[in-house]
Amino acid sequence: MSNSRQWARRAAASMAGMLALACCALRASGAAAPDLAAMNQPHKPFQIIGNTYYVGTAGIASVLVTSEFGHVLVDAGLPESAPLIAKNIEALGFRLTDVKGIVFSHPHVDHVGGLAQLQKLTGAQIYSLRAAEEVLHTGKLPKDDPQHGVRSPAIPKIARNWIVTDGQLLGIGSLRLRVFATPGHTPGSATWTWDACEGSKCLPFVYADSMSPVSADKYRFKDHPETVAAFESSLKVIESLPCELLMTPHPDAARLAKLEAAKGSADALKEEGACRQFAQQRREALQQRIAEGR
């Protein structure tokens, strides 16, 4: 906890400036800028189902999947989120040093900004698709990211990572998570799946990348057919997955309240067609941007 508190004090000093820059970056995309300060407010951790827990902030998801032989953290939030996530993990009764692996949805600052600090706190290995690796080591977005050129805070660089490949079943301790490359929102976007169980009742849990068509101001999806094709291919992957419980990188308050109210019940959590509905919504959003000439 001492390391977490020290990091929290250091992070607090720079939070206002970092979040202001991030909000400016999102305004450049032409979309309404979310309130990142509000998104990064603390949220009480809770058990979603069985060995799967929510440990993120009010609007930036982070999920802990646990086992007797080590845990996996999915998404690391902003740099300022790291102490909040660490505190949430410990509040649930888990030790930070038992987190053996960290994976993530896509390499933007609000989902991998906390990787470097959380790796220091836990000693965990970080796993990424090859297409995301450059961002982790340089802290900068590549030119083929639709948000390249948007002014935003640098992503803290990580010391080391391991590469996973599309469709790979990643084993960490007794846990098994499968990764699917789902490029579009970024070239290195990933969707992670695992079985979340309450006793003998298991739900296919899908942690899908956001798949939102957000870009820098001068970027036009209609001028990048390769990106549009990546979106379409990824959405087909997501809607084809066994999927009865869906989480995305930016859950809203209503979504979190619904998950909490289920109190870990598989029957209450089960959502038939969740991934198909999600994919259709994102497909329509992309087509709208193209129709608008953006």
Closest CA to 104 of 138, 142, 62, 144: 62
Mean pLDDT along residues 263-278:
95
Lowest mean pLDDT among 150-154, 161-165, 281-285: 150-154
Lowest mean pLDDT among 65-69, 175-179, 199-203, 210-214: 199-203
Mean pLDDT along residues 252-279:
95
Look at domain 2-17+39-291 and name its CATH class.
alpha beta
Residue 160 is which amino acid?
R
Whether the pLDDT of residue 266 is over 60: the answer is: yes
pLDDT in tens, 129-157: 999 999 999 999 989 888 988 877 779 99
Handedness of CA 274, 44, 9, 38 (dihedral sign): positive
Whether the pLDDT of residue 26 is over 50: the answer is: no
Mean pLDDT along residues 119-137:
97
Mean pLDDT along residues 69-77:
97
Edge to edge, the sheet with strand 46-49 lists: 46-49, 52-54, 63-65, 71-74, 99-103, 125-129, 162-164
For 103, the enclosing helix (H) or strand (E) is: strand 99-103
Proportion of the chain above pLDDT 70, given as a percent: 88
Q: State CA 61 to chain mean position distance.
A: 6
Whether the pLDDT of residue 34 is over 70: the answer is: no
Question: What are the distances in angstroms from CA 239 to CA 63, 116, 181, 193?
Answer: 21, 32, 14, 13
CA distance 103 to 15: 24
Q: Residue for token digits 């038939």?
A: 272
Whether the pLDDT of residue 218 is over 60: the answer is: yes
Average pLDDT taken over every residue of the chain? 88
pLDDT tier at 35, thresholds 50, 70, 90: confident
CA distance 3 to 244: 37
- Domain coordinates of the chain in residue numbers? 2-17+39-291
**pLDDT reported for residue 235:** 98
pLDDT tier at 4, thresholds 50, 70, 90: very low
pLDDT tier at 255, thresholds 50, 70, 90: very high
In three-state secondary structure terms, 265 is coil
pLDDT tier at 195, thresholds 50, 70, 90: very high
Mean pLDDT along residues 192-207:
94
